[in-house]
Amino acid sequence: MSQTQGKPRTVEALEDLLKDLGVEEQEQGVVQLLLEYAHMFSRVLLQNATIASDIAGNSVITASDVRIARTLSEHVVERMPNSLLNIIEEVNSRKLNAQESSNPMPPEGVLMVEPNYCVKPSSFAKRTREKTRQPSEPAPKKPA
């Protein structure tokens, strides 16, 4: 392991990558977490590449096997680590705070998806007035 200034080359490479992406400062454990993720991803990728190599009958892992493993990892969800599953279970087991709703829910049997209004076209109102007019009333004159 080549080290300059007490830092491993991989740590320096990750720090340079972060600087290239515009990240000048980060918390202390960020680089370590990125290294752990890279290690985990590489391990899974190489395991899948080994399986692909065995199926193909190759004695060594080829670049083609790694490409197949990468494609496989894009489409297949890997099982989450137990530590992550424990965190998920802990967060999901917390009780939610009771929320007071400002809008009460409608009573049982009332559907909110049915229309509760009646639209009458303007021609309907005009016809209704003409039908209800008394015969003694003169008909309104139409403007020319």
pLDDT, tens only, 55-85: 999 899 999 999 999 988 777 666 677 888 8
CA-CA distance, 123 to 132, in Å (whole number)?
14
Domains assigned to the chain: 3-92 (1.10.20.10)
pLDDT, tens only, 72-128: 877 766 667 788 888 889 999 998 887 776 677 777 777 667 666 666 666 666 666
Q: Is the pTM of this model over 0.85?
A: no
pLDDT, tens only, 19-54: 999 988 888 888 888 898 888 889 989 999 999 999
